Amino acid sequence: MPFQDFREFLDALRAQGELIDVDRPVALELEVAKAMRKSAAVAGPAVVFKDNGTRFPLVGGVYNSNAKALIAYGCDRENVFDEIVTRLSTRIPPTYVDDGPVHENVILGDDIDLSILPVPRYSPDDGGPYITPGFVVSHDPETGVPDIGHYRCEIIDTKTMSMMAAPSHRFAKNQAKALRMGHKTFRAALVIGVDPMIAYACPIQVPEDTNDWEVVGGLRGASVELVKCRTNEVYVPAHAEVVIEFEVDFSQTVEEGPLGEYTGYYTPASPKPVVRPTAITHRHGAYFQALLTGRPTTENHILKQLSFEASFYDMFRQQFPTVTAVAIPPSGGVYFRLVIAMRPRYSGEARSAILAAMGSNLRPKTVVVVDPDIDVHDSEQVEWAMAFRTQPARDVIIVDSLPGGVLDPTADETLPADQRTGSAIGIDATYPYGTVIKTVGDLCGPASEEHGGHVVEVADIPGWRDYDFPELDAK
């Protein structure tokens, strides 16, 4: 059964030793970030900061390890990827309810005060405190199709925020469409503290006309309950801990940033539309949430990776059915580096896959295609394939003037985000089509040439993975 809400997930983490309480005072200004970083460095527990200067307990690190992701998905390491792909094939519509726990407390008008929330500053040069774990719910102003996605939110003062949304993301596209339609403002909601399957669904790659709540239902294996916001027409999870309903004012801007981002670099400050809360709603005894971002690997990357890889794999293999695995590693920010394992069906198909990946919404800067015998998650194996299965003049592709990647620190930052371009490199690290790869010691008999190819023998020691080596195991 899926978790009903954020609290059930916290209970499950605590029961498995993956959640601890800190009762001593911990400052929101950088100290929370230090504690989260230290725990994440050893795949340690999530932390509840009870004494943070506000009345809301602050929970950080709930997505900071693969162990916690497996608890969230209710899977083990061996079946989680296949389970996600299976769930992505199912759509379960949401259930609409008249009221829910998130409306146990409703703050409106002059009573709105963002300083009541425990919002940390994560990096020393951040422009201000940032809500990083929240996701925005917005609707296409023309079709009404809902979208959910993670977007950073800076607290400017007690009644003002600002957000950064890349032009290629649906929240930004929804705003741009509203502006073209003559709207002066755009209303949406920022949600904090939910069933983890909702959070893991946010990075999933789906067509733009997809109702994301149906994807969430499939991922959960059960319908998600939604309730209408108090000051707009947006529907949000009824069991969320906190919701900030807001209005984007297109007529006024404010400096947003810098922020130490998922690339490991600060993004410079730039003008963004002013965002004004129209309501803050929350449960009794609500938990607020922190999510560490910055140089890989942080909680931000682990949250994205599994669902990102599974959804990209599911989408990509529709065009290239012999794709066997995909890795979008944290070292590339879970955006800029992509490794694909496939068995080409004809000469040049690996190159076609590279170009298709470059043209996807992922916008990677590096795409490597390897044979299925390479573990795409093992950087040493990938580097081995690049070293000994490629000739650079033959197997490397460079494409220029592509749309710029999201928050790429090497892009021309003097240009507006929607005008930035970049280049990408593709490396075909597969053997030429028709080559038979045979590992020395294979029991499958002698390899035979096919399609005029030749046999390449890979030297390896049979059975080494299963060798009993207690002295090493004791280390």
Higher pLDDT: 303 or 99? It is: 99
Decide: 291 and 135 in contact? Cβ < 8 Å. Answer: no
In 3-state terms, what secondary structure has residue 61? Answer: coil
- Fold (CATH) for 6-290: Pnp Oxidase; Chain A (2.30.110)
Pairing of strands 146-150, 185-192: unpaired
Q: How far apart are CA 199 and CA 339, in angstroms?
A: 24
| Closest CA relative to residue 313, chosen from 280, 353, 286 | 353
Query: For the residues of 374-391, what is the DSSP string, one character each?
Result: S-TT-HHHHHHHHHHS--
In 3-state terms, what secondary structure has residue 267? Answer: strand
Decide: 340 and 347 in contact? Cβ < 8 Å. Answer: no
pLDDT in tens, 355-388: 999 988 788 999 999 999 999 999 999 999 999 9
Residue 27 has pLDDT above 70, yes or no: yes
Query: For the residues of 330-354, what is the DSSP string, one character each?
Result: GGGTTTSEEEEEE--SSTTHHHHHH
pLDDT in tens, 41-84: 888 899 999 999 999 999 999 998 889 999 999 998 888 888 98
pLDDT confidence bin for 211, thresholds 50/70/90: very high
| Identity of the residue numbered 422 | G
CA 41 to centroid of chain Cα atoms:
19
Q: Does domain 317-429 have CATH number 3.40.50.720?
A: no
Indicate where the chain has its CATH 3.40.1670.10 domain(s).
317-429
Indicate where the chain has its CATH 2.30.110.10 domain(s).
6-290
Element (H, E) at 95: strand 95-96
67: its two tokens: 């162990």
Q: How far apart are CA 334 and CA 397, in angstroms?
A: 21
pLDDT in tens, 408-455: 787 877 787 778 888 999 999 998 887 776 655 444 444 444 444 556
